[in-house]
Chains A and B, each alone.
Chain A
Amino acid sequence: MAVFAQTDGFKVSELDIRVEDQLMLADARIDYALSSTATEALENGVALVIVQRLRLQQARWWWRDAVVVSQQRRYRLQYHAISRRYVLTWLESGESRSYRSLDALLLRLGRIQAWPVMRVDRLDEGGDYRLRLDTSLEVDKLPRLLRMVAWINPDWQLRSEPIYRELSP
């Protein structure tokens, strides 16, 4: 059972890679802690959008890293007043689930299992690869009035530091 450090902000605490049937899969755990400002906005009917970005990068000695794969998952968080539940919607698929508490929702959101990255046989032999994961709250998807404040107010600057995992050959 993870103990959450109740500091505002997002933190990618784990990132693991496994291979199943020639498919590279990523498992990760992200600790989401919304600031009180964001929580208050959520409870007042403001929808929040959180994005998770996964990238496979190939190191090049002569230039910047090449981005081999770049994927992102975007989730919408809403409070449903009639049911008094928090709704999490995966925007790419339209799939949604509701939770009794925000913590439960965030816990679920922070658990990433078997995120398919790419087929292993597409990787170059002896290539220097690393996987990168980061997440952030999309300020641009806030209602415009809030956006003004969000750009200025650090309470809204919710983003994690990226975490890297080297691909073992």
Chain B
Amino acid sequence: MMQLPRQAIVRILLSVLLILSLYLLSAATENSVRFGRLYLWLLLINGVVLVALLGLIVNNLWRLVRSVRARETGSRLTLRLMALFVVLAVVPGLVVYGFSMQFLQRGVDSWFDVRVENALDDALALSQASLDQRMRDMQQRLQDAARDLADVTEEMAPITLGDLRARTGASELALLGENGRIIAASSVDTADILPHRPEESILLQLRQGRPYVGLDPIENAGLHVRALVPAPGPGGPGSNRVLQGLFQVSPRIDNLAAEVETAFSEYRELAYLRGPLKDSFSLTLSLVLLLSLLFAVWSAFYLARRLVAPVSRLAEGTRAMAAGEYGTQLAPGGNDELGYLVRSFNDMSRRVADVRDAARHSQELVESQRAYLETVLGRLSSGVLALAPDGSLRTYNQAASAILSVPLSEGIGRPLSALVSRYPDFGPFVDLVAGYRQSPEPEWRAELSLDTSEGRRALICSGATLPGEGERGGEVIVFDDVTTLIQAQRDAAWGEVARRLAHEIRNPLTPIQLSAERLQHKVGTRLGGDEAALLQRSTETIIHQVEAMKEMVQAFSEYARPPALRPQAVDLNALVREVVELYQGEPEQPAFRLDLDEDLPWLQADPGRLRQLLNNLLRNALEAGEAGHCRVVVATRQGSGRYADMIELDVQDNGPGFAESMLNQLFEPYVSTKPRGSGLGLAIVKKIVEEHNGMIGARNVDGGARISVRLPRVMPGDARQGNEQ
């Protein structure tokens, strides 16, 4: 059940009232006994309604024009529908009105006929003529009677009048004196005590000596003839007496005359009322039509608005949809096609919104997957690169950037080779990848040794072609930095060697030394001269060399010894200054340049081991440089990027740099490019760095070599559980 809007109810109520008032109006026109003065009120009320309707229409029209000017949605359609409704209502109404008016005029006029009118006039004239004849006759009779009264005195008059009345056949005779004074009277009808006194004008006429005769219609008594003649008394003609006689017309003539009179009167009245009749009908008809038309026009506004409202809403909704406001819901329309259209629009809008939500959801899913993948890739220690089919870089992870020591972010969307110009160390990797991209193999594996800003690195790379539409869908390259792994294997091997050496070599060294000393002691005293000197030199040599070998074995055993760190807060800058101070007193003083970060935070480390590390690094630098021209730069700084929680230490010399062939085994024991090097210095340094969970790298720079160390500011709890053997 559709609920009617309030406006519709108001309109229905108004129209019912209007119809009622129009009905009353026409009823009042038809039968005014019942409605009496209501007619005036009805006219007034209808007039007020008319004015009110006109006002409403003007107001509506103005609003419509304003909305059309403002180009509001649906206003033009409303205007068109409005015009259509108005034309549909007004034109037939006016046609009907025109014809009705014509019928009314003609219909009323057709009741009147000239011939009938003439016939009635003739009938009247005929009646009058026939009555005139009788009237003259009666006047004659009366004049005769008046002559008989000529010598009758006023006292005798009543008696004579009775006779005269009987003779003349009058129903009433009266003798009047001066000024119509009644002298005597005689009447058939005894109820009429007093006869009528004649009018002044008749009396005047009689005074001039002219008799009067005329018809006198008497209520309930029919038509009478009244005649007055002068009746001079005994006093002569100057007495001014008048005899008045009233004669009844014969019943038949009376009836006929009454018929004619009635017909004539009614016809005359009808003819006279023709104008008012037409006027009142026209007025009622016009009022009814005007009110109906105005009401129709007013309703046309409402209907047009009501019809257009869903269309306007649809237009608005469509505009909103076009502007991307999916899910717009319109107010439901009725049960007609427009309502269906609105419902369909709402369904569509809802579905579009659902699709949008689904798309957004799947996008979020993809995003979260991507984030997940990025997280996974970011946490991977392996470097991952994805290349587009055209060889440009699509994605990479942090590990890839770190391993390659190249800011890959600069190369997104560009071929890898674009980075080579700025980062030449990156070249071999790019060449390797490019080579394999040309090959038809879907998968490949390769090892690569790469020089990076942080030292030489051993990489194991593997690549695979990504699935794609058509030919190649790009590449994914995964590579691992196995430098540490290889190093660890070597370290383990060296540790083993060192332990064996320490164990196997140290044992025979002491007996050798003791034997040499005993030889010196026992035999030296017995020999003389050159032999004694020879023995002396030989045994000393043996003892010195054994000493050296002991030191070497001691160093080895230290290298192999499991670490026992005592970490505490250390100011690295202070430590650097302290160690550098020790070298100031050396002969052929090296030139130190300290490039220390004053805001450097303290770090958790074993100060003893750090001092040893610095010692070894500085000694290494000094040994590399030429005596007397040695320049060493020591720099500390806070790490940045992914090394933000680390402290970096660089030691750079102005020596010849590391031999290319050595770069891979630089930190292994017994690897030294220096004539005086023991080969253990850097191995120990690397060990200390590893004990502190740090990183170390070495590379050649312009005019020397640089060793970079990165140490974490905070030692992890398990730092001391290193290679407990």
- Which residues of A approach B to under 8 Å, CB–CB? 40-41, 44-46, 80-85, 87, 89, 94-101, 104, 140, 143-149, 151-152
Contact = CB atoms under 8 A, between A and B. Distances in A.
Given A82-B261, A83-B217, 9 more contacts: A44-B272, A45-B264, A80-B217, A80-B261, A82-B127, A83-B223, A84-B215, A87-B217, A151-B37
B31 interface: yes
Interface string B98-127: 000000000000000000000000001001
Nearest to B199: A104
A149 B128 contact: no
The 8 closest A-B pairs by CB, nearest first: A83-B215, A44-B272, A96-B219, A45-B269, A45-B265, A45-B268, A148-B280, A144-B32
A47 to B, nearest CB: 9
B661 interface: no
Given A44-B271, A81-B124, A104-B200, A145 B277 contact: yes
Given A45-B269, A83-B216, A146 B276 contact: yes
Given A83-B223, A96-B219, A148 B32 contact: yes
Contact of B257 (A45, A82, A84, A98): A82
Interface in B14-30: 28-29
Nearest to B33: A144
B217 A94 contact: no
Interface in B181-213: 196, 199-202
A46 B272 contact: yes
A96 to B, nearest CB: 4
A87 B40 CA distance: 31
Nearest to B266: A45
Interface of B: 28-29, 31-33, 36-37, 39-40, 43, 124, 127-128, 131, 196, 199-202, 214-220, 223, 257, 260-261, 264-266, 268-269, 271-273, 276-277, 279-280, 283
A89 B216 CA distance: 13
B717 to A, nearest CB: 115
A136 to B, nearest CB: 14
Nearest to B274: A145
B276 to A, nearest CB: 4
A46 B271 CA distance: 11
B21 to A, nearest CB: 16
Contacts of B223: 82-83
B217 A85 contact: yes
B39 A151 contact: yes
Nearest to A90: B219
B57 to A, nearest CB: 26
Contacts of A148: 28-29, 32, 39, 276, 279-280, 283
A123 B33 CA distance: 39
A97 B221 CA distance: 12
A81 B220 contact: no
User: Considering residues B28, B29, B196, B269, which has the most beta carbons from chain A within 10 angstroms of its beta carbon?
Assistant: B269
A145 B276 CA distance: 6
Contacts of A145: 273, 276-277, 280
Contacts of A82: 124, 127-128, 131, 215, 217, 223, 257, 260-261, 264
Nearest to A153: B276
A83 B219 CA distance: 13
A81 B39 contact: no
Contacts of B269: 44-46, 143
Given A104-B199, A149-B280, A144 B31 contact: yes
Chain B contact surface mostly: helix
B201 A101 contact: yes
A94 B28 CA distance: 30
Contacts of B214: 83, 85, 100
Contacts of A98: 216-218
A85 B198 CA distance: 13
Given A140-B36, A143-B269, A151-B39, A97 B196 contact: yes
Nearest to B273: A145
A40 B202 CA distance: 25
Nearest to B258: A82
B264 A81 contact: yes
B607 to A, nearest CB: 125
A116 B434 CA distance: 143
Nearest to B278: A145
Contacts of A95: 219
A134 to B, nearest CB: 19
A42 B359 CA distance: 95
User: Considering residues A40, A44, A89, A101, which has the most beta carbons from chain B within 10 angstroms of its beta carbon?
Assistant: A44
User: Considering residues A80, A81, A104, which has the most beta carbons from chain B within 10 angstroms of its beta carbon?
Assistant: A81
A85 B135 CA distance: 15
User: Considering residues A41, A82, A87, A147, which has the most beta carbons from chain B within 10 angstroms of its beta carbon?
Assistant: A82
A49 B269 CA distance: 16
A100 B43 CA distance: 40
Contact of B219 (A44, A89, A143, A149): A89
Nearest to B212: A100
A33 B272 CA distance: 21
Contact of A44 (B128, B268, B279): B268
B199 A99 contact: yes
B128 to A, nearest CB: 6
Contacts of B279: 148-149
Contacts of B218: 96, 98
Nearest to A143: B273
A140 B37 CA distance: 8
User: Considering residues B124, B199, B277, which has the most beta carbons from chain A within 10 angstroms of its beta carbon?
Assistant: B199
Contacts of A96: 217-219
User: Considering residues B214, B257, B276, which has the most beta carbons from chain A within 10 angstroms of its beta carbon?
Assistant: B276
A41 B215 CA distance: 22
A52 B659 CA distance: 151
Contacts of B199: 99-100, 104
Contact of A100 (B32, B37, B202, B220): B202
B268 A81 contact: yes
13 contacts: A44-B268, A44-B272, A81-B265, A82-B223, A82-B257, A83-B215, A83-B216, A83-B217, A85-B216, A89-B219, A94-B219, A144-B33, A151-B40
Contact of B272 (A45, A85, A104): A45
Nearest to A144: B32
Contact of B32 (A41, A84, A147): A147
Nearest to A82: B261
User: Considering residues A44, A101, A148, which has the most beta carbons from chain B within 10 angstroms of its beta carbon?
Assistant: A148
A85 B196 CA distance: 15
B220 A85 contact: no
A99 B216 CA distance: 8
Contacts of B200: 104
A104 B283 CA distance: 38
Contacts of B28: 148
A41 B275 CA distance: 12
A78 to B, nearest CB: 8
A82 B216 CA distance: 10
User: Considering residues B219, B260, B269, B272, which has the most beta carbons from chain A within 10 angstroms of its beta carbon?
Assistant: B219
A136 B416 CA distance: 121
Contacts of A85: 214-217
Nearest to B275: A149
Nearest to A91: B219
Nearest to A98: B216
Contacts of A151: 37, 39-40
A46 to B, nearest CB: 6
Contacts of B124: 81-82
A48 B515 CA distance: 180
Nearest to B270: A45
Nearest to B36: A140
Contacts of B257: 82
A149 to B, nearest CB: 4
